[in-house]
Amino acid sequence: MQRVVIENVFPEIEEGAHPVKRVEGEWVEVEAFVFADGHDEVTAVLLHRYSEEEAWQEVMMEPLGNDKWKGRFRVVRTGTYYYTVKGWVNRYCTWCGDVKKKLHAGQDISMDLQIGSEMVRSMAENAQGEDVSRIQGILDALSTRTDTQSIISLLLEEKIKSFMTKWVEERDITTYRRELQVQVERKKALFSSWYEIFPRSCGKGTKHGSLKDCETLLPEIAEMGFDVVYLPPIHPIGKTNRKGRNNSPDSGPEDIGSPWAIGSEEGGHTAIHPELGTLDDLRSFVKTAEALGMEVALDLAFQCSPDHPYLKDHPQWFKWRPDGTVQYAENPPKKYEDVIPIHFETVERKALWQELKSVILHWVALGIHIFRVDNPHTKPFGFWEWVISEVRRVHPSVLFLAEAFTRPKVMYRLAQIGFSQSYTYFTWRNTKHEITEYLDELTRTPAREFFRPNFWPNTPDILPEYLQYGGRPAFISRLVLAATLSSNYGIYGPAFELCVSDAVQGTEEYLNSEKYEIKEWDRNKPGTIREIIARVNRIRRENPALHETNNLRFHHGENDFLLFYEKATSDRSNILFIAVNLDPYHSQAGRVYIPLDELEIERDQPFLVHDLLSDEKYVWQGEHSYVELDPAVIPASIFLVKRFLRRENDFDYFV
């Protein structure tokens, strides 16, 4: 009879409908309530296996009190792992506990010893393998002992309790009602630094640049410490209803249009814009990036210009209005006459979906294993769940970033059905309260099990007000926040480096946006923050505490303009305290709280911190320290904690 109840297994997403997420080498910590009627002791075991393995591996779970148990296992390969929980009434451990109580009370236990010995004999019938001979050895030892104390000592040995726990009748075991999944991806899904660049702006002056021109800039991007180079769409651009500068509906012959208006007589989603180069040029670009330690990410925008070959070859893949004209993209009152959305619910959707899958596989074959997906929330969830699964079935290394600035439920659903990373609301979280509240949601709720944030201070579509008015200090503070709060972050490159803040009045749109024209960037212009970007990325690489997001902890500070938080590895071998001045105009100062107990530092013991941004070193003592940040100098500090001991008049510190 199964007397054990198993409830509230965590993590479990949507009753097991979706997997939790990890990368290679991470741990999966599982908790559950496991209990039974009466006073008998219960044993709980965590089961896990890789999808290609049939046998389960078992991990004994630890009791946390009040019927709650915890166990964990490590995932070491990309793909899918399964896990579940089982439990049973442990009669032998119950017997051991009762005997100890009776001994303590001075009661007679002669009958209990007979019961215990019989339990061992019964268990011997269930044992298999080497345990058969081991339990037989125990039985032989019992048969030779005559005094009560030696029999008690033998029956209460931990190794016997271990055997008795291991070999239990299958009919007595309760197994959780479902097997849960872990989707394991490569490490770049968890830790990456993105740099977005338009190849067409990489030429000389205002001449249309090419992939070859952009390739010459890759060493500079690598020197700044980025490991993902993200290219907006590189496909042919339609001419019909082409947008002019600043998104004007009127364009002239000199206007080059938006890269997101995909398709012309030169080809569609599997072609490269002729002025950008050839497929061989892309192969060379990818190869050079890889040699510099970077990967290339490509924009995946499933939409078409009016000139896309799909319109002629597959008109049934689009919506047509009663007057016979095709339905353009709209987000009232905005109209996008140069873009036509694909009708995913067409009766021809099987052929459509297969075609779009082939587009992804086309670029994967050319060395692209990372895709930034444009507006995935405007396409069916079912399509993304299917196509991501199909691609990963043959190419498990492929990663997908969801550019989904939409409602929280929709963003979370996209993550649940397979997207590796997601854009977030970080772009608009500016105050101490806004930032802490949002990051607590991302790192301290069940969302942490499936939603991997990728923080972008700016994008070609978004120039937030904070950057419009805060000047150079605003760009630096947002850089540090993005790069240290989240283990994945990115910037819209040259515009961020050069602190470009000119916007269309009353909007978050860049004035003279690169989306509609070729930009001539002077990357050595005074005021560039390239060196600071490189320093921040170097700090990220060298400090494992910044390689994950969910280890974030905010600490109290008395100044609401000073954000103070901690990132630390689980073994506490790498501990960082980050302070950021959220006021781009004025110096801000105040005391911040230091958790000395967790650092294993005595209250009267000084310790050293090294500001990795300024290269200054400070001696702190006590649970409060003073921080002052002048945005005119640098609006942030990244303190590496170095504990050290006093030795006469000097210090002997160690990392």
Query: Which residues are annotated as catalytic?
Result: 374, 403
Task: Name the one residue in this structure whose structure tokens are 């060395």.
Answer: 367
156 vs 167: CA distance, rounded Å: 17
User: E strand or H helix at 331, and its extent?
Assistant: strand 329-331
Is-contact 551 570, C-beta < 8 A? Answer: yes
> Rg (Cα) of the chain, in Å, rounded?
31
Residue 382's CB: how many other CB atoms inside 10 A?
Answer: 13
Q: Is the dihedral of CA 517, 521, 527, 530 positive or negative?
A: positive
8 Å CB contact between 234 and 263: no
Residue 479 tokens, joined: 């850089």
d(CA 278, CA 276): 7
3-state secondary structure of 322: coil
Identify whether the C-beta of residue 148 lies closer than 8 Å to the C-beta of residue 108. no
User: Is 19 exposed, middle or buried, given 0-12, 13-18 or 19+ CB atoms closer than 10 A?
Assistant: buried
- Between the alpha carbon of residue 647 and those of residues 253, 469, 643, the distances in Å are 76, 50, 13
3-class SS shares of the chain: helix, strand, coil, % to 5: 35, 25, 40
Three-class SS state of 615:
coil
Question: Cα separations (Å) of 239 from 251, 465, 508, 616?
Answer: 9, 33, 26, 56
Burial of 23 (0-12, 13-18, 19+ CB in 10 A): buried
What size, in residues, is the chain? Answer: 655
Strands in 24-179 per DSSP E: 27-36, 42-50, 57-60, 62-65, 68-74, 79-89, 174-175
CA gap 189, 20 in Å, rounded: 13
Instruction: Give 451: exposed, middle or buried? Use CB within 10 Å, 0-12, 13-18, 19+.
Output: buried
Q: Tokens in use for 446?
A: 């069940």
